[in-house]
Amino acid sequence: MLERLAISDIVLITPKKFADNRGYFSETYKQSWFRANVAEADFVQDNLSLSRHAGTVRGLHFQRPPAAQGKLVRCLRGSIFDVAVDMRYGSPSFGRWVAATLTAEGGKQMWIPEGFAHGFCTLEPDVEVFYKVTAEYSPQHDAGFAFDDPAVAVDWPVAPEKAILSPKDQGLPRLDQLGEVF
């Protein structure tokens, strides 16, 4: 199943599950289906993160061109509030955000193309998030902006002062301080 969010470039994908008395089987990614229905993307790296505590916020992250990444995100254990922010300068939805709750049980995945910042907040302890990306990690292109930027105003499920952040994420600038990235 495929669902386009309020910013139509962001897509929720719910793979089919085939269940029986042993459990279930699901194709979580099939290149031909993805290209025909979502985007012409080539994935080159898979990433896995573990967040020990509920209220952990990772983001809002992106890679600058020419190493910009599209991401296909899913939650393998627990649940997250997954966010994409449009950073495409001149886009009618520039600076707007969309979000979805992704759970291990539900199996939904979110496609976030290049030109968007991505972040998530864990909704419970010991959350594992897996994502495929269209460009390899590049430290010199790695960037982000503050998860609590008031101009973007993401409605996170955790109060900003209670969010658990990395030192790197604590020092990120606001979106309007980045200039034109995409």
Residues annotated as part of the active site: 61, 131
CA distance 113 to 133: 9
Asked whether the CA dihedral 122, 123, 125, 131 is positive or negative, the reply is negative
User: Among 97, 120, 74, which Cα is nearest to 9's?
Assistant: 97
